[in-house]
Amino acid sequence: MPRKIVIFDTTLRDGEQSPGASMNLSEKLALARQLAALNVDVIEAGFPFSSPLDFESVSTIAKEVEGPVICGLARTIEKDIDACYEAVKHAPRHRIHTFVGTSPLHLEKKLRKSPSEVLDMAVAAVKFARERCDDVEFSAEDAMRTELAYLRDVVEAVIEAGATTVNIPDTVGYTVPWVMEETIRYLFDNVPNIKQTVISVHCHDDLGLSVANSLAAVRAGAGQVECTVNGIGERAGNASLEEIVMALRTRADVFGCTTGVQTTQIVKTSRMVSSFTGFPVQPNKAIVGANAFRHEAGIHQHGVLMDRQTYEIMEPKDVGWSDSVLTLGPRSGKHGVRHRLEDLGYKVSDEQLEEIYKRFIEMADRKKQIYDEDLELIMREATATVPQVWTLVSLQTTSGDSTMPTATVKLQKEGEVLQDAACGNGPVDAAFRAIDRITGMTLVLEDYSLRSVTQGKDAVGEATLHVRRGEDETVGRAADTDVVKASALAYLNAVNRLLVRDMQD
């Protein structure tokens, strides 16, 4: 029988730590439900002690998402561990994940403690967590820059204290595959009680080696891999879930391992993460990139037509790719929309369907034919709502070779309608400036992108932008057949996110 590898998804915790990638509660809950549909084994839902909002999101996910183990992160501090337990305890299966740095650099510069003091901290934290929870994970932060003999002692001690999973993180993406494999093998050979726990790895991608390092650890005996959808995370990101899962599946002959992941949900999950975080997936990204299964060279096209295996090592449908299907039009009714959403794997309430159908008709009147991707976009926008402090009433722009680009914007707030106009470097810039004038907010635009959701001249354009106000960053997203309007709506979405955050603080 193949060995089962536990897939520990940390998209909602480490992934969300990517600058500008923050998600609101409804988005986190929607993503957690999709991760459950993907059938990951563990969802690390957040860091409960870090903020009231993080506590609320972890607690809500623990109450409402069924299937995976729901995990929270905590430092080796009792109040962190208590907060973590209070947040995750609502899930039928829950885990406390506690960590402390073990490398000489962390001991000297960050913790300013001796190796024996840190070892005692690790043991005490695991024991404290086990008094509250049967499933406790310990991470030796910066393990791959930790002296092997000391790492061995820490691993042995936390297992003795009750850790059911011990994680060996490459926190800064420093190691290389053969060193990772040697390290895991060393632990299996030198930690006498190691069979009482699951050995895990958590690899960062600073040198582009996170997936290779994770797979090397699996070869050496690791039973859990910590990863994120699309590989998002701190700095250069984490090991990519889709690459780990499909490497183990495609090369089962080499690894002799399997996972429980429902691979046909991979593309849908990737799109959801990209939409919620505002981080587009590069076209040449393995598994989920737009070009992952496309062939342009004539010799490749000929080979694929004769037999797909000549140039493809996976079936596109196995990871959730399908051709864009023309499904619905202006005369389609609610039942047709609901049926197609169910075919795509989405379940919506009657209340949500009302809003989805309203948006569907508005788009169908302009676009005539609605693709699956359009429908998924409508569904996400309708069910992942940001409270509308300001709403767009109307937008008019003028631009041209010999005309100063201008925008006239009319916004509504609490029943009051305000209007203003501004000039800019183009119609989009002018619209942003007009919104600033009305709302009284001045935001720094860090990044801005437009993408076509489907093919054709009437394709919906999705605008994604990252904005900053002082130290506060957020993402705005919106879609429309008019890309200038989509951009203005995305900017207004970012404004509303910041204003809602202010109210919550």
d(CA 160, CA 112): 25
Residue 130 and residue 161 in contact, taking contact as beta carbons nearer than 8 Å: yes
Residue 284 backbone dihedrals phi, psi, to 5 degrees = -95, 15
pTM of the model: 0.83
Residue 303 and residue 310 in contact, taking contact as beta carbons nearer than 8 Å: yes
d(CA 343, CA 346): 7
Tens digit of pLDDT at every position of the chain (505 positions) = 899 999 999 999 999 887 667 788 888 999 999 999 999 999 999 999 999 989 999 999 999 999 999 999 999 999 999 999 999 999 999 999 999 999 999 999 999 999 999 999 999 999 999 999 999 999 999 999 999 999 999 999 999 999 999 999 999 999 999 999 999 999 999 999 999 999 999 999 999 999 999 999 999 999 999 999 999 998 999 999 999 999 999 999 999 999 999 999 999 899 889 878 878 888 899 999 878 776 544 444 445 455 556 656 788 888 988 755 545 666 677 888 888 787 776 778 888 888 888 888 888 877 767 777 788 778 777 776 667 889 999 999 999 888 899 999 999 999 899 999 999 999 999 999 999 999 999 899 998 988 887 766 777 888 888 898 988 888 888 888 899 999 999 999 899 888 887 776 6
Question: What would the two tokens of residue 282 be?
Answer: 């590069």
Three-state secondary-structure class, residue 2:
coil
- Find the farthest-apart pair of alpha carbons in the chain and give their distance in angstroms, rounded: 78
Question: What would the two tokens of residue 234 be?
Answer: 């701190």
Protein fold of 391-504:
Double Stranded RNA Binding Domain (3.30.160)
d(CA 357, CA 381): 12
d(CA 238, CA 199): 18
| Sheet-wide strand order for 472-480 | 444-452, 461-469, 472-480
Three-state secondary-structure class, residue 11:
coil
Note the CATH number of domain 3-277: 3.20.20.70
